[in-house]
Amino acid sequence: MDRSQKSYYLLLLLTVGNVVFMLYNLSSTFSSEYAETSIEGMSKMKKKHMIRPHDMKKMFIYNTHSWDAAPIVVEEYKLIFFAVGKVSCTVFKQLLRRMMDLDDWREDSGPLPHNPNKNGLKYLYHYPPGKALEMLTSTNKGWSRAIFVRDPLERLLSAYLDKGKRKNGSYMAKHCNKEHQVDFSFEEFVGIVSSSCKHDPHWAPQIQRIDAPFWQHINFVGKFDTLQSDTKKLLNRVGAWEDFGESGWGPNSNETIFSKATHARHETGASGHLEEYYNSSWVRKTALQFYGKDYACPWFKFRKQIVEYR
């Protein structure tokens, strides 16, 4: 091979190498940008958002004004629990009150078990900001940070059946500034929820339940579809199943938690009525758009209804 041929092949090799390098960088950039937009950069939160103790007071989950903004803390079992409206939050609060050894833990009327000023539960804001931040982010302290989530379409229907139909419009009038309307359709409800009353805790997207920088620290995500088994897993994880989950539930106190006999008084049975209510393409499209980020969230892994009702 003469000198000119060697020069040609060397130049060709360098050119190919540069192209490969550029493609690699382009691919990395694209992957990075896709991750950033698809889950809003949560995969990079650790690097981009170094939360300091003084930042905690700005966080939704440290908010003292909303009943279900801050998570509930059961320090003895190192459990931080994020209650979600229409995801069995009543029974979960009864459970947490039981774990706190409160005698009236079964109570489900008036201010109990929901009112933080009356329920005897401990919330994240009861801890100093530095301690709260450590509890939320530490990897070697043994804290379980748990949330249970529900398919958004099913949860929205449950909210309608309970807060819309069952309350005869009074809940919507009070919380959504709407005229008291005794009977309104699911389509009307979806229109209100998706436009002028988006942030009610009973139907707000579940991705909004926790400030974005903290999702990476959630180490237990349970599903409403597998409520009983996932609750058992969580209680076993914190060493509380035998004492608080295995028995003592149901009307005769002889059932496990979330057995068929364990029902909140406002259970709606929404899962059995999805086809009946999501029979309009506008309702389906509007609801799916409203909950788009929930369906895209990699921690939730929702698939069922979005496939069936598209």
For 95-119, the pLDDT digits (tens) are 999 999 999 999 999 999 999 999 9
29 or 45, which is more confident?
45
pLDDT tens-digit map of 68-85? 999 999 999 999 999 999
Q: Write out pLDDT tens, residues 202-251.
A: 999 999 999 999 999 999 999 999 999 999 999 999 999 999 999 999 99
Which of left, alpha, beta for 22 (phi over 0: left; psi -120 to 50: alpha)? alpha
Distance in angstroms (rounded) separating the CA atoms of residues 105 and 82:
18
pLDDT of residue 18: 46
pLDDT at res. 216: 95
Residue of 56 and 29 predicted with greater confidence:
56
The phi and psi torsions of 133 (rounded to 5 degrees) equal -65, -40
Domain 53-308 has CATH 3.40.50: yes
> Does residue 40 carry a pLDDT above 70?
no
For the chain, the three-class secondary structure string (H helix, E strand, C coil) is CCHHHHHHHHHHHHHHHHHHHHHHHHHHHHHHHHHHHHCCCHHHHHHHCCCCHHHHHHCHHHCCCCCCCCCEEEHHHCEEEECCCCCCHHHHHHHHHHHCCCCCCCCCECCECCCCCCCCCCEHHHCCHHHHHHHHHCCCCCCEEEEEECCHHHHHHHHHHHHHHHCCCHHHHHHCCCCCCCCCCHHHHHHHHHHCCCCCCCCCCHHHHCCHHHHHHCCEEEEHHHHHHHHHHHHHHHCCHHHHHCCCECCCCCECCCCCCCCCCCCCCHHHHHHHHCCCHHHHHHHHHHCHHHHHCCCCCCCHHHHHCC
Lowest mean pLDDT among 75-84, 216-225, 268-277, 298-307: 298-307
Indicate yes or no: pTM above 0.85: no
Check pLDDT > 70 for residue 136: yes
- Which whole number is the average pLDDT over 184-193? 94
According to DSSP, the β-strands at 79-82 and 220-223 are: unpaired
Distance CA 223, CA 149 (A): 5
**Predicted pLDDT of residue 168:** 74
User: Do the Cβ atoms of 198 and 206 come closer than 8 Å?
Assistant: no
Q: How confident is the model at residue 263 (pLDDT cuts 50, 70, 90)?
A: low
Mean pLDDT throughout 268-283?
A: 88
Question: Is pLDDT larger for residue 141 or for residue 92?
Answer: 92
State the pLDDT confidence band at 170, using cuts at 50, 70 and 90. confident
pLDDT for the residue numbered 304: 52
Confidence band of 27 (pLDDT split at 50, 70, 90): very low
pLDDT category at 295 given cuts 50, 70, 90 is: very high
> pLDDT tier at 29 (50, 70, 90 boundaries)?
very low
pLDDT at 162: 92
Please report, rounded to a whole number, the percentage of residues in the chain having pLDDT higher than 70.
79
Using the predicted structure, report yes or no on whether residue 13 has a pLDDT greater than 70.
no
Residue 192: which pLDDT band, with cuts at 50, 70 and 90? very high
pLDDT band at residue 167 under the 50/70/90 scheme:
confident
